[in-house]
Amino acid sequence: MDQRKALKSAGLALLLVLVTLPPAAGTSEGEASVLARKVLDSTTLEWSQAFSARGSAYRAPKVMFNRLPRLHPARGAGYSPGELVTLDLGELEETRAIFPRDGNALAALMIAHEVAHHVQFLEMREGR
């Protein structure tokens, strides 16, 4: 399987995760961190398969959960080159609360976006 097909496969699998997530039911920290873990586990599985298909190994990013005040300038999700994804549980909870029907999918998309930055970092490091 070439790289384009592997990436398409990983994207479709993430879409499947987004579609099958239940609507946001509440905003507890436990629920936000469980959602984040499910999405991170899914992206790790899919990217591992995509990298393996082209003969290389995927190394999942380190993840740091935090909770910053609502107007703090560093609040939200982010990626620091060097393999660290930062997720603000308060931001995930707020997204789920503002968009009760689609909040889980939006939170999952934010997480997957940061993981994609990690994949870009790995690609750059491998010279691809």
Integer Cα distance of 33 and 92 in angstroms: 9
Which tokens sit at 21?
Answer: 């997530």
- How high is the pLDDT of residue 119? 94
pLDDT digits (tens, 9 = 90+) for 70-94: 888 888 888 988 779 999 988 888 8
Name the residue range of residue 85's domain.
3-126
pLDDT digits (tens, 9 = 90+) for 7-22: 555 554 444 444 444 4
Q: Is residue 27 scored above 50 in pLDDT?
A: no
Higher model confidence: residue 34 or residue 5?
34
CATH (domain of 37)? 3.30.2010
**Inter-residue contact 80 to 51 (CB < 8 Å):** no
Instruction: Domain count for the chain, please give it.
Output: 1
Burial 54-65 (b: 16+ CB within 10 A, else e): eeeebebbebee
Provide the pLDDT confidence category of residue 6 given band limits of 50, 70 and 90.
low
Q: Is residue 104 scored above 80 in pLDDT?
A: yes
pLDDT digits (tens, 9 = 90+) for 106-116: 889 999 999 99
- How high is the pLDDT of residue 23? 40
